[in-house]
Structures are given as C-alpha cells and as structure tokens.
Amino acid sequence: MGGRVITSVIFALLAIGVNCQDETTVKPESNAVANNNICKLCKCADNKVDCVDQGIATFFTTVEWEGLIDFKPEVVNLSENRFTNITMIADLTIEVLNLSRCSIEFIENASFRDLQEMRVLDLSYNKLTTEKLSPHAFEGRFAPEEYEPLASMRVLNLAYNDLHSLHQDLFEHLPELEELDLSGNPLTTIDHVTLIAISSLPMLKSLRMRSCQLAEIPSKFLHTPRYLERLDISDNRLSAVPQELDEAKNLVYLNLNQNPIIELDMTSEDYPGFPRLRKLQELHMCNMPKLRRIGMGALAGLESVQKLHISFNPSLSEIDPKALARPDDIGETYDWPAVKELYLKSNNLSDVDSRLISRWDLLEKVDVSDNPYLCDCSTQWMVDILTPVVETKGGNASTMVCQEPIEMRGYTMKHLHEIHRTMRCVDKYGHRPEKDGAILLGTLIGVLLAVPIMLSLMLLWRHGYFAWLGLRPPVDVSRAFYKRAPADDSY
C-alpha cells in the first residue's frame, strides 16, 4: 500500500515538472503568434521581431502583419533581405522599423499610415530614387479635411540611396521630425526644391549630409530649422568654411572632416575663418589632405567650443597662436574659449604654441602626438609643461617625438622631461644647432691646412721660384736699393 502511495506521488511530481517545463517553453509567445507566418520566418521574442538576412523576397501582407497584433511588437528589423516594394503595414505598436539594405525601389502610398507610434524609420542603403520616392509614402491617416501626419516620427534615415534631389513636399507628413540622414546620396548640389523640403522641418535637430558631393551650402539653407544642433557635412567638396553656418544659431556639433579646405584666414575672401557660432561645443576638422594653415582669429567665432578635433591633416603646418583668441571691442585684450578636449594628432606641426589656449592645465583630454616637432627653446614649454599634462590626462607623451634638429631626432619629449633637458635656440639667421659642429670642424681643418701651405709659399718666394711672375725675393729687392759708387769719385 505504501509503495503505491510513493509511486503516485512520484508520478504527480513528474507531471507537475513537465507542465512547468511546458509553460516555460511556451511563455515567450502565444500559440497564435507561434503559428503566424512572420514568426515562422523570424525570431519573435520580448516585443521584438528579428528578420535580419532571411532571404525574404516579398514584403509581408497586411493580413500577415495583423497576426502580430496580440504580440505587440515594438522593434521590427527586416534589414538585409531581398524585397523591392513596401506595401501597407497593419495597425501595430511598432516604434522602430528597420528596412535597410533590402534593395527597396518603391514605397506604396500610406504604407506606414497605421504605425502611429513609430519613432524611427531606417530606409538606408536601398535603391530609392527622386522619381519614385513620393511624399505620399509617409502620409498618415485620412481625416475629413487632410491627411493626418505621422506625429510620433522623430528619426528618418534615407542614407545611401540614389536621391539626386528631394520632392519639396517629401516631409509634409512628418512635422515633428528631429533627425534626418541623407548621407551618401548623389545630391551634388542643394537645389531649390531640396532646400524647400529641408526647410519644411522646423523641429529638425540633427542633419547628416555626409558624402553628398556638395561643393557649397546655399544661402538660407539653415535659416528655417531654428533648433538644429548637429550638422555633419563631412566628405564633400567644400573648399572653404561655409559662411552660411551663421544661420544655425543653436548649432552645438559640426563635422567638416574630409573636405578639401586649404586654409582658414579671417583676412581672406576665398578662405575665411568661422562665422560666429556662439553655442558650438564640438568641431571636427580631420583627414583634410589640403589644409595647410589656420590663421589668426580663424576659430575666434567659436566662443563656447569645448572639443576640438583637428587631426590627420598631413599638410597642416601652422596654427596661429591666436587662432582661438577673440578680441574685445577695442582690440586690446583677448578672450579664449574654455577648451576641455584638444586633439592635434598626426598633422605636420613643428610646434604647438603655448598661447593657443588659455589654460592647458584645465584640459580633460589632449593628444598632440605624431607631429614632426622641432625640439629647441621654442618648444621647451612642451617638454616642461605640456608633457606632464598629457601624461596626467591619460595620453602618451612618448609619441611626442623630435624630428629636428638632427641631433635631437628620435628623442621623445617624455624622455627630455625626465632628464630635465634644456634645449638650444635657433639663432636669428636661421642657423640650426646641429650645424655648429660641422662649421667648427671645417674651420679648424681649414686653419690647419692653411698654415703649412702659406709657409711653403713663403720659402719658395724667398728662394726666387716666383721671379718669372715678377715676384722678386727679398735679396734682390735690397740690392735694387744699393748701387756701388764710381772709382773716380773723390771726396
């Protein structure tokens, strides 16, 4: 009897364990979701639908999307598939929709109409063209008087498509859009309709137009987006700092990397410095092969700049000590911005002037490595003051290496600091210390050779060997002054 009870208890426990295991297995998704076509192809869990690189050639139908209503997806990733057309999506709670790298050529009107909670839409790396990308693709639900906007939309990524221009009404249904990425589209120029399209986004805070083959920024382009804070116009064909930037009054981040800008000079019309950008905090000017000089006051308009990235510019050999200095109204005193991070890595600088910023000890990060430094008295301050600053801020002063003069080549400023080395000055004629030894040695050799040569010549002359040249020896000269008296002379 007791054995039967024990057996019954064991079976009961096993049954409970199996049931618990089944519940744990099934819990992440209901049977309805598990049987849905989308979740058969994709991974559905934690309110996310992951369909990355599943070879999907046809976009899901509205009925298939409706099968996800109970699942309540918030993030849907369909990137790296093979469908070319986008059709209407059912009323879902999707907040982030990734449709990148899918060879998309066409988006059906109102495809995203019912995604009223969608905040982020990624359409990058597709084949959308100006002709096929219609404003109706982004229209919202239909109201009696007009189409309602997609009010929750904040981020739209159209990067690396084939857009040569934008329809002027492309964003009319996205009035709250804050971030727009147009990078990698062959715009070449910002034409009138493109200007209108971007100007229709009053809430825009971030605009990326990297690698768009732009040679200039048109006037009034940045006038309407009054809240614009971040602008990336890197890897274009800009040959000078766009003066139209002064329209972006709230700009805090600017990326000008990889543009063929030659120099910044406040006295030049062709290559002016920066306009007044009072709120700009971070500037990137890196990988500019033609940039050779930053003149006096060229960065003075950046009153609040905190992070300066000016690195990997192989021709940049001069940064004026007062490049950042902002003169007062009278011009007698100067103010410098409170720079916190300074990056001058891998340029062609022979020195960094101590007057470039006001307080080196207040820097939080600094990197001035891999420049061909001239190690003489003009850079003594770098050895004595800047080197310990670099070391205490997490940098590596061992990469601050002397290139000139030749006698100092290969020495690191860290080593010079450790041995308390005092370096010589280049004299006012530009003579370098490394030539002093050669000059002294040459002079000594010359003197040593000249003395025996002169003595030999003197001996040869005394013995009359140069008479044929009209150079008589001293004996002949004395005889010329003595003449024997005649025998018949009497006194």
Does residue 137 carry a pLDDT above 80? yes
Q: Any bridge partners for residue 231, and if so which?
A: 207, 254
pLDDT of residue 487: 55
Residue among 346, 423, 347 at smallest CA distance from 378 = 423
Name the more confident of 467 and 42: 42
Choose the most confident range, by mean pLDDT, from 10-24, 309-323, 472-486: 309-323
Query: Which residues touch 27 (CB under 8 Å, ≥6 apart)?
Result: none
pLDDT of residue 453: 81
User: What is the SS3 string spanning 94-161?
Assistant: CCEEECCCCCCCEECCCCCCCCCCCCEEECCCCCCECCCCCHHHHCCCECCCCECCCCCCCEEECCCC
pLDDT, tens digit, for every residue of 319-342? Answer: 999 999 998 777 678 899 999 999
pLDDT, tens digit, for every residue of 401-433? Answer: 999 999 899 999 999 999 989 888 865 445 555
pLDDT of residue 291: 97
pLDDT band, residue 11 (cuts 50/70/90): very low
Q: Any bridge partners for residue 293, and if so which?
A: 263, 318
> 371 phi and psi, to 5 degrees?
-120, 150
pLDDT of residue 477: 52
pTM of the model: 0.80
Distance of CA 140 to the CA centre of its chain: 38
pLDDT, tens digit, for every residue of 235-254? Answer: 999 999 999 999 999 999 99
pLDDT, tens digit, for every residue of 338-371? Answer: 999 999 999 999 999 999 999 999 999 999 999 9
> In this structure, are strands 326-327 and 43-45 parallel, antiparallel, or unpaired?
unpaired
Name the more confident of 439 and 338: 338
Q: Any bridge partners for residue 129, and if so which?
A: 162
pLDDT, tens digit, for every residue of 380-400? Answer: 999 999 999 999 987 888 999
pLDDT of residue 269: 87
**Least trusted range by pLDDT, from 137-146, 298-307, 321-330, 337-346:** 137-146
pLDDT of residue 451: 78
Measured from the Cβ of residue 462, the count of other Cβ atoms closer than 10 Å reads 12
Q: Is 137 left (phi over 0), alpha (psi -120 to 50) or beta?
A: alpha
The CA distance from 147 to 397, in Å, is: 61
**Least trusted range by pLDDT, from 27-31, 75-79, 203-207, 338-342:** 27-31
Does residue 64 carry a pLDDT above 50? yes
Is there a contact between 336 and 324 (Cβ–Cβ < 8 Å)?
yes
pLDDT band, residue 79 (cuts 50/70/90): very high
Question: Three-state SS for 253?
Answer: strand
pLDDT of residue 286: 98
- As a whole-number percent, the residues of the chain with pLDDT over 90 amount to 69
pLDDT of residue 393: 86
Does residue 224 carry a pLDDT above 50? yes
Mean pLDDT of all residues in 277-284: 97
Tokens of 14: 């096993």
Mean pLDDT of all residues in 27-55: 80
Does residue 2 carry a pLDDT above 60? no
**Least trusted range by pLDDT, from 7-16, 168-177, 335-344:** 7-16
pLDDT band, residue 85 (cuts 50/70/90): very high
The beta-carbon contacts of 172-175 under 8 Å, at least 24 apart in sequence, are 172/135, 172/200, 173/135, 173/138, 173/139, 173/140, 173/147, 173/149, 174/138, 174/149, 174/150, 174/201, 175/149, 175/151, 175/201, 175/202, 175/203
pLDDT band, residue 163 (cuts 50/70/90): very high
Burial 18-40 (b: 16+ CB within 10 A, else e): eeeeeeeeeeebeeebeebebbe
The CA distance from 44 to 476, in Å, is: 122
The CA distance from 403 to 374, in Å, is: 6
pLDDT of residue 220: 87
pLDDT of residue 471: 61
Map out the domains of the chain as residue ranges. 238-369, 372-430
Does residue 28 carry a pLDDT above 50? no
- As a whole-number percent, the residues of the chain with pLDDT over 70 amount to 82
> 113 phi and psi, to 5 degrees?
-55, -40
pLDDT of residue 436: 57
Residue type, 221: F
Question: Three-state SS for 62?
Answer: helix
Q: Greatest CA span in the chain, whole angstroms?
A: 185
Residue among 162, 216, 225 at smallest CA distance from 197 = 225
Mean pLDDT of all residues in 187-207: 95
Name the more confident of 435 and 348: 348
What DSSP designation does 385 have? Answer: I
Measured from the Cβ of residue 311, the count of other Cβ atoms closer than 10 Å reads 22
Residue among 239, 262, 357 at smallest CA distance from 307 = 357
pLDDT of residue 14: 43
pLDDT of residue 21: 42
Tokens of 479: 């005889």
- Domain made up of 238-369: CATH architecture: Alpha-Beta Horseshoe (3.80)
pLDDT of residue 159: 98
Tokens of 343: 């990056």
Mean pLDDT of all residues in 296-300: 95
The CA distance from 143 to 391, in Å, is: 64
Name the more confident of 178 and 14: 178
pLDDT band, residue 437 (cuts 50/70/90): low
CA distances from 306 to 31, 226, 331, 401 (A): 55, 22, 24, 26
Q: Which residue has the tokens 């891998």?
A: 346
The mean pLDDT value of the chain amounts to 86
CA distances from 117 to 136, 181, 239 (A): 18, 20, 42
Does residue 130 carry a pLDDT above 90? yes
The CA distance from 299 to 244, in Å, is: 16
pLDDT of residue 446: 75
Cα–Cα–Cα angle for 483, 486, 488, rounded to 5 degrees: 165
pLDDT of residue 478: 55
